[in-house]
C-alpha cells in the first residue's frame, strides 16, 4: 500500500481509502448488513487501508455508528474522516433534500457545527476526529460567512477534537476564503476518469497551495469496476438511477471501453476495479481515492490497487480511451448532487 501525508498535519493516509456512504443504507442504497459492514471495515484496516471516510448524513448517523463499532479497540490504526454541515435536527440552514421523512439543510453555522462534532464523537466512540470536512458549502439561502465557519473549526482543532480541517464539494474561490482565516488541509471532490472537471481549475489550485485531494466516486458507483453488464437492472429509487453514466446509452459506452482493457487485466494480473483505482491515484495531485465497500471481498480487492504500479504508457492510453468516451454533466441530473 502506498501512503501519503495530508499537507502539514503529519496525518499519513493510504492511497486507497474506504468510503462508507452505502454502509449507512437508506432508500438510496438499500438495507445494509451491519455485521458484514463491520467486518469489511476491519478487513480494510487489515489490508493496509488507514483512511475510513464517513459522514453524519450517511444513514442519519448509522454509518458513523458502524465505523465506531468497527474501529473500537483499533482506533490507533484508523484515520477517521467525517463531516459537518448537513443538518436535519430543525429548520436552520438552506434546504438541500428530503429523505426518509427528514428535511436536510446545508448549515455551517458555528453553533450547529459545535453540536454536530459532539454527536459524531459519540457515534464514532472516540475523543478526536482526524479529518473534519464541511460536507457542502453555504449558499445564498443561508449565507454563513466562511470566516465564521473556519474560526469554529480552528477552535475545535485547538481543543483537540479534530486534527485536520477539510472541505467537500468546494470551489477554488471558496478555498481562498477559507485560507484567509486559517489553513485548509484537504478537500474532497468528485473525480473519476469519466468526470475530470477538477483537473481544469480546482486540482491545479490545490497543488499550488499544497492542499491534499481526497476524491470520491472514482469507480462511478461500481460501473468502472466492471460490476454491471449492459442489461443489468438497477432497482427503482436506487442512487445509481440518478447518475448520468447509468442512463441508457451511456452505460454501454463505458462497458465497451472496459472490454477493450482485457489485455491490461492480463498484463497486471488485476481486476477492473484495481486497474481503475491504480490509474486514479497515479494522477498528479490526487492524494487518495475513496472507494466504497460493504463486503469484505470488495474491500480486499480494492485495497490491492494501492500497491499496483501502472506503466506510464498504459496510464496515458486509459486517459485517451476515457476522453473518447466523453464527459457528462452531473449538475443537471435530478438527485445526482444531493448528498455526496
5-19, 21-35, 113-127, 197-211: least confidently modelled range: 21-35
Q: Are 152 and 117 in contact (CB under 8 A)?
A: no
Q: What is the fold, at CATH topology level, of the domain defined by 3-226+273-310?
A: TIM Barrel (3.20.20)
pLDDT at 242: 79
Q: How is residue 72 written as a grid cell? A: 473500537
CA distance 275 to 165: 31
CA distance 94 to 27: 22
39-48, 116-125, 199-208, 219-228: least confidently modelled range: 219-228
Q: Which of 58, 132, 216, 239 is catalytic?
A: 58
246, pLDDT greater than 90: no
pLDDT at 233: 80
Give the β-pairing of 102-106 and 86-87.
antiparallel
Residue 323 makes CB contacts below 8 A (sequence gap 6+) with none
What predicted TM-score, i.e. pTM, was given to this entire model? 0.93
Q: Using CA of residue 301, residue 224, residue 55, residue 284, what is the dihedral sign?
A: positive
In this prediction, residues 117-127 reach a mean pLDDT of 98
Q: Round the average pLDDT of the chain to a whole number and report it.
A: 93
13, pLDDT greater than 90: yes
Q: Would residue 330 show up in a list of annotated catalytic residues for this protein?
A: no
Q: Using CA of residue 64, residue 67, residue 73, residue 74, what is the dihedral sign?
A: negative
Beta bridge partners of residue 196, listed in sequence order: none
Tell me the domain boundaries of the chain: 3-226+273-310
- Count Cβ atoms below 10 Å from residue 191 Cβ, excluding itself: 25
CA distance 240 to 68: 27
135, pLDDT greater than 90: yes
- Reported as a pLDDT band with limits 50, 70 and 90, residue 89 is very high
CA distance 134 to 155: 15
**Among 273, 286, 274, 262, which Cα is nearest to 223's?**
273
- Reported as a pLDDT band with limits 50, 70 and 90, residue 284 is very high
- Burial pattern 6-29, b for ≥16 Cβ within 10 A else e, equals bbebebebbbbbbbbbbbbbbebb
In this prediction, residues 270-293 reach a mean pLDDT of 97
In this prediction, residues 18-22 reach a mean pLDDT of 94
End-to-end CA distance of the chain: 26
Q: How is residue 73 written as a grid cell? A: 479497540
In this prediction, residues 93-105 reach a mean pLDDT of 93
Amino acid at each position: 500500500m502506498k501512503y501519503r501525508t495530508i499537507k502539514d498535519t503529519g496525518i499519513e493516509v493510504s492511497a486507497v481509502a474506504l468510503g462508507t456512504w452505502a454502509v449507512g443504507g437508506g432508500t438510496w442504497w438499500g438495507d445494509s448488513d451491519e455485521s458484514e459492514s463491520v467486518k469489511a471495515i476491519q478487513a480494510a484496516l487489515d489490508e493496509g487501508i488507514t483512511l475510513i471516510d464517513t459522514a453524519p448524513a450517511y444513514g442519519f448517523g448509522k454509518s458513523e455508528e458502524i465505523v465506531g463499532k468497527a474501529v473500537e479497540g483499533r482506533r490507533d490504526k484508523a484515520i477517521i474522516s467525517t463531516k459537518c454541515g448537513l443538518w436535519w435536527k430543525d429548520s436552520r440552514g438552506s434546504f438541500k433534500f428530503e429523505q426518509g421523512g427528514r428535511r436536510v439543510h446545508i448549515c455551517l453555522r458555528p453553533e450547529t457545527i459545535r453540536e454536530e462534532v459532539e454527536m459524531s464523537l459519540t457515534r464514532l466512540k472516540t475523543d478526536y476526529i482526524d479529518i473534519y470536512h464541511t460536507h457542502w458549502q453555504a449558499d445564498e439561502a443561508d449565507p454563513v460567512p466562511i470566516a465564521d465557519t473556519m474560526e469554529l473549526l480552528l477552535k475545535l482543532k485547538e481543543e483537540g477534537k479534530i486534527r485536520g480541517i477539510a472541505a467537500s464539494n468546494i470551489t477554488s474561490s471558496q478555498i481562498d476564503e477559507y485560507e484567509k482565516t486559517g489553513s485548509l488541509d484537504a478537500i474532497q471532490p468528485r473525480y473519476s476518469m469519466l468526470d475530470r472537471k477538477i483537473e481544469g481549475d480546482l486540482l491545479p489550485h490545490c497543488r499550488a497551495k499544497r492542499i491534499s485531494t481526497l476524491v470520491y466516486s472514482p469507480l462511478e458507483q461500481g460501473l468502472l469496476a466492471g460490476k454491471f453488464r449492459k442489461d443489468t437492472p438497477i432497482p427503482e429509487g436506487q442512487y445509481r438511477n440518478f447518475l448520468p453514466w447509468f442512463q441508457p446509452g451511456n452505460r454501454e459506452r463505458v462497458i465497451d471501453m472496459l472490454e477493450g482493457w482485457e489485455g491490461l487485466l492480463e498484463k497486471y494480473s488485476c481486476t477492473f476495479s484495481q486497474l481503475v483505482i491504480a490509474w486514479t491515484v497515479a494522477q498528479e495531485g490526487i492524494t487518495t481515492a475513496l472507494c466504497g465497500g460493504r463486503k469484505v471481498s470488495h474491500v480486499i480487492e480494492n485495497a490491492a490497487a494501492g500497491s499496483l504500479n501502472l506503466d506510464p504508457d498504459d496510464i496515458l492510453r486509459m486517459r485517451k480511451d476515457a476522453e473518447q468516451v466523453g464527459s457528462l454533466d452531473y449538475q443537471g441530473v435530478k438527485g445526482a448532487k444531493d448528498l455526496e
